Amino acid sequence: MSVPTSARATSASWESQAACLDSDPDLFFPIAPSGPALQQIAQAKAICARCPVRCECLRFALTTHQIHGVWGGTSEEDRQRLGSRSSGRPTGNGREGAAARSGPLLRP
């Protein structure tokens, strides 16, 4: 069953408004959560801070269990803490519910 074009456009509308749209996607996916990557994470979060759809991006990341990268102004560790607080237990690795979609428009 195919999704009508209008439904696809609506679901992707927040992505087309993202502040990171013209940024290098690698900036949002550091290879480590420490060391020199901390500066990379800070740079990505700075872009997110001025993003008009930051909340929608974070909601997408939490809903689809994105475990890698900076999404909606949050790092992997930030989202893990959010998940722990909301569920009362640590989040898993998220692989079982990770989104099948990826690409330039799904950047944080």
Residue 100 lies in a domain: no
Per-residue model confidence (pLDDT) at position 36: 87
Q: Is the pLDDT of residue 6 over 60?
A: no
Domain with 43, as residue range(s), is 21-94
In tens, the pLDDT along 11-57 reads 558 999 999 999 999 999 999 888 889 999 999 999 999 999 999 99
Residue 76 lies in a domain: yes
CA atoms of 11 and 1, how far apart (whole Å) = 17
Residue at 99 is within a domain: no
Residue 108's nearest CA partner among 64, 60, 37 is 60
Asked whether residue 81 is assigned to any structural domain, the reply reads: yes
The pLDDT value recorded for residue 83 is 75
Q: Domains in the chain: how many in total?
A: 1
Across the range 76-91, mean pLDDT stands at 72
**pLDDT digits over 85-106, tens only?**
665 444 444 333 333 333 334 4
Q: What is the pTM of this model?
A: 0.67
Instruction: Confirm whether 102 is domain-assigned.
Output: no
Q: At what angle do helices 54-63 and 37-49 cross, to 10 degrees?
A: 120
CA-CA distance, 47 to 62, in Å (whole number)?
19
Whether residue 87 lies inside any domain: the answer is: yes
Mean pLDDT of 57-86: 91
Residue 2: per-residue pLDDT:
41
Whether residue 105 is contained in a domain is answered as: no
Instruction: Tell me what pLDDT residue 99 has.
Output: 31
